[in-house]
Structure formats: structure tokens, C-alpha cells
Structure 1
Amino acid sequence: MSAVLVAGSDGGIGRACVAAVEASGTPVHGVDLSGGIDVTAPGGIEKALAQATSAHGRIAGVVHAVGMSGRSLGDGGVAECTDEAWHEVHRVNHESVFRLLRAAIPALQDGGSIVVIGSTLGTSIDDDFRTVAYASAKGALIPLIRTAAREAAPRGVRVNLVAAGLVATPMSVRARSSASIRARMPALMPLGASPCLPEEVAQAVLWLLSPSSGRTTGAVIPVDGGWHLR
């Protein structure tokens, strides 16, 4: 049976994606830095694909759920963002997606699907979430996945992005702990007025991996409680 490779399988969203795919009856091959595979480094995604293929045979889907916040490195507004934050956040959140797409598209066969986890901050500016490196890296994913989708379409491979809002994961603890942000949640995410669950993001990923989305490619699917409507 064809399998799905999940890069970033130990993270909040990645772990939920693994559980959702497994619950659907599809084998999953999860990789993460803690397991010795760094898909943000040159050769990392190729190693992961080779490992997954060896274990499962055909790979029908790939999920990129690797990401980082650069606040601890100095990410913030344009005037205060450090060089270290800018380069590291773009390396992890943007460059690693390029590396994954470059390797995964040729590796997948007809009907394959690639799903990238993005962020609503890639297209939305908010003073409480002013992190120029993170936002610009996530925003840059949109032309990247659209270009990849156009190139992959003749192979029958689809490439899509899920733009997540504030999600209840360890990475978002700072924001979720802020009293001022909690007070603004009905305005930020009017549909539910609370952070999304990783499982809700994973269900969108599962649909994009499935044949049910067989005519969908190059799309940006928001799972953000309406954040993008502001």
C-alpha cells in the first residue's frame, strides 16, 4: 500500500497529521530532527524519501510540517529583526520547502500529493504578531507552491498549502498566554474565537492528500477561524 511521508512528525501539527493519516488506514513514515533526519539540511529530504521508499515501497503523499519561530533569535519588526533571525527562519520555513519540492515531485508518481503547512501571517499583518522574518518566509511559500503545482501537474502530482491561523501547539504558547491577544480572539478568529486545534489543520491536510481533492492544486486553504477575512 502507498504511504505518506510526514516531515516534522514530532511537532504539534505534524504529529496530528501522522495520527489523521494513520486513522484513515494509510501507512505513514514520519521523520523529524529528533530521529536523526534534518530535512532543512542539504540531502535531508532525499534521505527521508529513500528511507520511506525502502520501508513502504511507493510514496503517494508528502507533508511538510517543519517550522520555527524566530522570536528567540530576534525576529520582530523590520527595524529590529536580526540577521540571525532572518536567515535561520527563512532557511527552516522557506528554503526547506524548496528542497522538499525539488526532491519530492520527481519521486512521486501519478496521483501523488504534496501538502505544505503555511500560515495566515503570510498574507496578514498584525501588530501583536509582528515577526517580519516569519511572515515573509510564510508569504514566500505561496508563489513557490504555485510554481511547483504548475510544473508538477503534467506528472499528475498536486501541490497545495494549508494556511493555519493561531494553532494550539507548543510553538504558540507565548501568543496564547497573552491576555491582550486572548481578548482579541473574537476579532482575530471570529469563527470559534479560539485557537485552532492541530487536529483541525490535519483534517484539511488529509483531504488534500486524498483522491477527493484530485482536481485541486496550487491552492491556499485557510484553516484559521476566519483570520484571513479581516
Structure 2
Amino acid sequence: MREPKLISPSLLARTALAAAPLLLGQTLVRVTEEGEIRCRIVETESYGGAEDRGSHAFGNRRTNRTEVMFAAGGIAYVYLIYGMYSCLNVVVGEMDDPQAVLIRAVEPLSESDQELMLRHRGRFSGKAANLSNGPGKLCRALRIDRSLNGYPLVRAGGVLRLESGDAADELPIVQCPRINIDYAGEYALKPWRFYIDGNPYVSVKDKHPMPWRG
């Protein structure tokens, strides 16, 4: 078994559109008081820069919430939806260029990882994939909240970190439009959601996905 190593900083220096598919297959690690949880990233969405109408930072909008998106790549951007569910994003790209990748779904790597996630979800029923097949679900299962906003993701031994996993070019990656951004006009149609085709933990399977060519 190979020794885990942190993800390459060069991947996180890319734009969101370039980084989003490359984060698939990588390992998201969360350390809680009850133990360490390791997951495989299986679905992402790109939110790329000031021109993207789907982005919180559209038009270079700098607020208390979005300021973290303007940092150099390698930290977490955690925000709330509906005032109650956390969503985890990986900030990527260069300083002052607001780029982020939403982590939409993850797959636990072992039974022990799954057991801890189930414990964190509390009263959970249904198929195993429902445990973390959505951005709010995975944050509840991994106990990720706003306290981790701005946390560095490439720190050895960090309580939230990204480690190297499978190479993207070895995975059956597809792309399609993002979800729930009807307000984004023509940007709602951009094929900027990426997932590992056939993985049961993907939140929503698109009817007509396109193969990602890299």
C-alpha cells in the first residue's frame, strides 16, 4: 500500500475549469474527534472567475462571504445554503482571481469510513450512496462547517486536507451542466459539472453527459 501524500499544489494553481475534473479520484481527508475519515471525490462543479454568472463572486463581488475566493488556491471555501447546510469548495487559481470548485459528492474508502459518516449523519436510512451524494450531505457526514472556511487543504496532518488519489486520465469522467443555477443565464448551460461515470455516489446522473477529453 502506497504512503498517502498531499495533492500537488500545481493542481490547485489551475483555473476552476481545469482543476474540477482533476480533483475527481483524489482523496478528501477529514479528522474528527471520533477518528479519521477518508473519501474519494466523485463529483465536482467549476465556478470560474468574475465572468461566471453562477459564481458567488460574479462581477468581482467581494463580500465577507466571498473574500476567501480571492485567495491563492489551496484553501477551503465553506458557505451555507438555505441557512442550514454547509457546502465545501476548494479555492483554486491565482490571488485576486475568484476561482473555486464545489465538491458535490464523495465515496467513503472503507467500511470504517462509512461507519463514522453514518454516525455523523444521525438518523439515516436509505441506500448507502445517499450518505454523501450531495454537497450538503457530505458536509454533514464529514462534520464540515463554517469553522473550516479558509482552512489550508495542503497542510500535512491537517484536519481537512486533500491527498493524491487516482489519475483523472484513468477514470471514466463525463461532463454536463451544473445543477440549480437557473439564475446564471447562458452560464447555466455550460458543461462545468464533472463526475465519474457509473459511480453510485454521484448526486444526479445527467441524461446526455459528454465524455471529458482532458
TM-score (norm 2): 0.27
Question: Of the two structures, which has the highest relative contact order with CA contacts closer than 8 Å and spacing of 6 or more?
Answer: 2
| More helix as a share of residues | 1
| More strand as a share of residues | 2
Asked which structure has the greater CA Rg, the reply is 1
